[in-house]
Amino acid sequence: MNLQLDSNGRLRHFLTIEGLPRELLTQILDTAESFSSVIGKPVKKVPLLRGRTVVNLFFEASTRTRTTFELAAKRLSADVLNLDIGTSSTVKGETLLDTLANLEAMQCDMFVVRHRDSGAAHFIARHVGPGVSVINAGDGRHAHPTQAMLDMFTIRQKKGDFAPLTVAIVGDIMHSRVARSEIHALNTLGAGEVRVIAPRTLLPPDIEDLGVRVFYKMEQGLKDVDVICMLRLQRERMEGAALPSEAEFYRQYGLNQQRLALAKPNAIVMHPGPINRGVEIESSVADGPRSVILPQVTNGIAVRMAVMAMAMGAVGEPA
């Protein structure tokens, strides 16, 4: 049985894109679309999660991601508790499971979990009680499913249908939870072709099994694509000599105007942020007319609202 779904096929936890049916991903996108109009209004609140408590359980610092979940929860009228686990209960020797049991006993309804270890969100989801939902806000190299869904939302918003699209994911595939989640989402939603472009040293050995076409050169991989998903160079996650230098990486894999010209004329450029200007992407591209990097951020709030509301049973029917 899928840990993420309840017995009626409804979303209960949101841990990974892998294994979720296409109908459910589409339902997330449709629900996000309905919230999308709300957050553009002066009163950006809906009362769907009033009286519910959402806990941001961040074992790895990320103000940016935490902020998007905090805003999404507040716009659903939930109460939000931010717990920086590095500096709290572990100080007194409390174990993770005891911390979770305590927060559950306090009648918290949802844990948004960020952790440097792959599988941390699944581990937590397996141990929470029946009334609690877990959202993965990024675990190690494994998954970052809300990021992938906001990318899908942005692609659908700009391109309509997934079927005719060729999408290229560029950069440090090896260390990227975003890449893994994007590949699963694109394939589940039926994208025409999913490409990855990276040096051999930044590609996991089994990458083709995920259903992608591998390119080692930008000049080949970007040809006629509809969507370019740049990845952030995760300097903090790279060990040893996998990479010659940032300058060399930029020379070979940085997205500049010349390379962008290889893609289709109306191709869009995405990036999960924060961008490293001059490392993965030229500023004129990041800030240019093809860039949808800031719309991605806006859509991220709507998508997180959708996932939270669905996991708490506040919207939606079984997909």
Site for a copy of itself, rule CB under 8 A: 39-45, 50-53, 61, 63-64, 67-68, 70-71, 74-75, 79, 81, 83, 87-89, 91-95, 98, 101-109, 273-277, 294-295, 297-298, 300-301
> In the annotation, is 65 catalytic?
yes
Least distance (Å) from a copy of itself to the CB of residue 87? 8
CB-facing half-sphere around the CA of 301: CA atoms within 13 A: 22
Residue (7 or 37) nearer to a copy of itself, CB: 37
**Two tokens, residue 113:** 């979990």
Position 26, amino acid: T
CA atoms of 84 and 71, how far apart (whole Å): 17
Please give the Cα distance from 228 to 213 (Å, whole number): 14
How near is the Cβ of 289 to a copy of itself at its closest, in Å? 15
Compute how many other C-beta atoms are within 10 angstroms of the C-beta atom of residue 98.
11
66, 115, 144, 304: the catalytic one is 144
Q: Exactly one of 41, 63, 87, 92 is catalytic; which is it?
A: 92
Cis before residue 274, ω within 30 degrees of 0? yes
Examine the residue annotation and report whether 237 is marked as an active-site residue of this protein.
no
Q: How many CA atoms lie within 13 A of 104 on its CB side?
A: 16
3-state class (DSSP) for residue 112: strand
CB of 314 to a copy of itself, least distance (A): 9
213 belongs to the catalytic site: no
Separation of alpha carbons 277 and 256, rounded Å: 11
Q: Which of 114, 115, 142, 175 is catalytic?
A: 114
Other beta carbons within 10 angstroms of residue 106's beta carbon come to: 10
Q: Which CB sits closer to a copy of itself, 214 or 279? A: 279
Q: Which of 50, 64, 126, 251 is catalytic?
A: 64
d(CA 84, CA 58): 5
Q: Residue 119 or 278: which CB sits closer to a copy of itself?
A: 278
26 or 99: CB nearest a copy of itself:
99
Token pair in block for residue 249: 């990486």
User: Given 16, 31, 65, 188, which residue is catalytic?
Assistant: 65
Taking the complex as a whole, the smallest distance from the CB of residue 118 to a copy of itself amounts, in Å, to 20
CB 196 within 8 A of CB 218: no
Please state, in angstroms and rounded to a whole number, the distance separating the CA atoms of residues 61 and 105.
25
Instruction: Give yes or no: 115 in active site.
Output: no
Question: Which is nearer to a copy of itself, 140 or 204 (by Cβ)?
Answer: 140
Active site residue 195: no
Closest by CA to 149, choosing from 312, 313, 39, 306, is: 306
Quick one: 10 or 44, whose CB is closer to a copy of itself? Answer: 44
Q: What's the CA gap between 278 and 256, in Å, rounded?
A: 9
In the numeric block, the tokens 């940032």 are attached to 246
- Provide the minimum distance between the beta carbon of 40 and a copy of itself in the complex, in angstroms, as a whole number: 7
In whole angstroms, the minimum distance from the beta carbon of 57 to a copy of itself comes to 12
Active site residues: 64-65, 92, 114, 144
